[in-house]
Amino acid sequence: MEFSPVHYIAVPLFAAFLIPLVGKVSKELVKLIPGLVLLYLSYGSIMLFPKGMENPIIEIIAGFKPPFGIALYYGATAAFLVTLVTLLGFVIWLYSYKFIIREPIEKYYMLFMLLITGATGIMLTGDIFNLFVFLEITAIASYSLTAFLRDKDSAEAAFKYLLIGSFSSAFFLLTVMILYTYTGTLNLADLASKADMIPANAKGFALLLVIVGMGIEAEIFPLNGWAPDAYSQAPSPIGAVFAGIVVKAAVYAFIRIIFLFFKTPEVLHFIVIIGLITLIIAEMAALRQHQIKRMLAFSSLGQMGLVILALGIGTTESTSAALFQMFNHAVIKAMLFFAAGYLVFHSGSKLIDSVTGLGYDKPITSFFFSLGALAIIGLPPFSGFWSKLNVLISIASEGEILIIVLILAASVVEAVYYLRIIGKLYTRKEIDSNPRRTPISGLLAMGILAIVIIVIGIYPDVLTQWLQPAAENLLNSEEYIQTGLF
């Protein structure tokens, strides 16, 4: 059986259904299965990736040609993101291996796996209602995982997430309704080719519904109230999944829909502005956080604002820069969540102040955190620098100097709160040496990410060669329609 895109969804689902059965036999096996699945998918990704980069692969489900059946669209952008997701998913699994020690472990791994499946499905699917279903899978898995820990705050965060997430799904369902009503189809490519059939006011309304509905998942400014709570209360590996995988999928779906149906200068301007506002407000809010993971959450919102901004510029350069930024954010923020997870675990408190002096007691974890912090601010020679530079150049070539200045002002704020933590980490303070150690699997996960950050930081061409086709694929709606419909 040759590897095809549907494996991304079928195999993890199979494994997820299998886990309860296996759980009756051995708990250790339960822990291993997700790793094996993700390893298989990573292997498959690497096999499939070059093909997807060249030509989009359309996989038909159930043997009915689109627009009648559902098809998966594995284009260059999806290839890029899905590969990122599976590889990152594997690293996150590695980290979870020793981190999640709380029962019900098998439920954790089922939910984790379904969460990744849902996110992958969002990226792959070529059908708008199927997209809705995958959004729901992702959302419900997220709610459950947010409330996974014992404390009351996690339940609160999950409820807020659910409340706002329900708005998102309701709005998105309404969008599907409007689009279906006027075009009579659900396939994205077919829809895009028939977009002119929709009357202007219905189309405008649908656009607003998409902006709000998907904007909730993509965490744009006034809609992201749930995000800091969910990120900070979920277990650390899940925080990494949210920042690295779920929001990427949401932003991809958001931008794909916007580019397919509503790509007009006004809309793009609006996206730039909303991205900028998100960036600035999130960074400002992060400045005064007292909890380390909550701060990371706000920083994540800011980074996604930057991504959305760059996507809104709408040129090939800016789009590839945005994809680069997505990649970096996924890797770096995952690393920060990993390191923060153990910092919180070692210090026994979520507060930033409590990490004081941990740099000497837990040097390796602190080192990884510092590395991540320097990378996410965009300091060379780490990977974050290149994406930020590319974003800035792409904005400058549009002549928007003011936006650059604002982005960089936000970056200064970002630098302040990250370096405040580094400063605290390496401040001398008498603390009792803590017998807890970061386990090997956690260090291995962080080490892999650190190597990625440094290698790409020193030699970005490893990655940049793939960005160009991915960006073109995202921008080129014509090609999407043609290939999507055969």
Site for other proteins in 111-140 (CB under 8 A): 111, 114, 117, 121, 127, 129-130, 133-134, 136-137, 139-140
Nearer of residues 243 and 375 to other proteins, judged by Cβ: 375
Structure tokens at 188: 């994205």
Torsion of CA 449, 93, 245, 467, to 10 degrees: 40
**Helix or strand holding residue 47 (H, E):** helix 27-54
Contacts of 382 (CB under 8 A, 6+ apart): 332, 371, 374, 375, 453, 454, 457
* Contacting other proteins within 394-433 (CB under 8 A): 395-397, 399, 401, 404-405, 408-409, 411-413, 415-416, 419-420, 422-424, 426-429
368-394 in b/e burial notation, b at 16+ Cβ within 10 A? bbbbbbbbbbbeeebbbbbbbebbbeb
- Smallest CA-to-CA distance from 300 within 420, 233, 218, 423 is with 218
Nearer of residues 165 and 442 to other proteins, judged by Cβ: 165
* Contacting other proteins within 256-285 (CB under 8 A): 262, 264, 266-267, 281, 284-285
Nearer of residues 55 and 181 to other proteins, judged by Cβ: 181
260-275 in b/e burial notation, b at 16+ Cβ within 10 A? bbbeeeebbebbbebb
Half-sphere exposure of 212 (CA within 13 A, CB side): 15
Among 30, 88, 100, 162, binds other proteins (CB under 8 A): 162
**Helix or strand holding residue 71 (H, E):** strand 71-74
**Helix or strand holding residue 73 (H, E):** strand 71-74
Nearer of residues 39 and 267 to other proteins, judged by Cβ: 267
For residues 372 to 391, the per-residue mask of contacts with other proteins, x marking binding by CB under 8 A and - elsewhere, is --x--x-xxx---xx--xx-
Length of the chain: 486
Q: How far is the CB of 39 from other proteins (least distance, A)?
A: 19
Backbone dihedral angles phi then psi of residue 187, each to the nearest 5 degrees: -70, 135
Is 219 a residue that touches other proteins (CB under 8 A)? no
Among 32, 49, 156, 273, binds other proteins (CB under 8 A): 156
* Contacting other proteins within 281-310 (CB under 8 A): 281, 284-285, 287-289, 294
Q: How far is the CB of 97 from other proteins (least distance, A)?
A: 18
- Dist. CA 83–CA 456, nearest whole Å: 16
Nearer of residues 332 and 413 to other proteins, judged by Cβ: 413
Among 41, 85, 88, 164, binds other proteins (CB under 8 A): 164
Is 43 a residue that touches other proteins (CB under 8 A)? no
- Dist. CA 44–CA 85, nearest whole Å: 12
DSSP letters for 271-334: HHHHHHHHHHHHHHHHHT-SBHHHHHHHHHHHHHHHHHHHHHH-SHHHHHHHHHHHHHHHHHHH
Q: How far is the CB of 225 from other proteins (least distance, A)?
A: 3
Is 348 a residue that touches other proteins (CB under 8 A)? no
Among 29, 32, 39, 174, binds other proteins (CB under 8 A): 174
Among 204, 440, 478, 482, binds other proteins (CB under 8 A): 204
Is 226 a residue that touches other proteins (CB under 8 A)? yes
Q: How far is the CB of 57 from other proteins (least distance, A)?
A: 13
* Contacting other proteins within 9-28 (CB under 8 A): 10, 13-14, 16-21, 24
Among 86, 299, 356, 483, binds other proteins (CB under 8 A): 356
Nearer of residues 131 and 311 to other proteins, judged by Cβ: 131
Contacts of 141 (CB under 8 A, 6+ apart): 111, 112, 114, 115, 118
- Provide the 3-class DSSP secondary structure of residue 449: helix
Residues touching other proteins, count (CB under 8 A) = 145
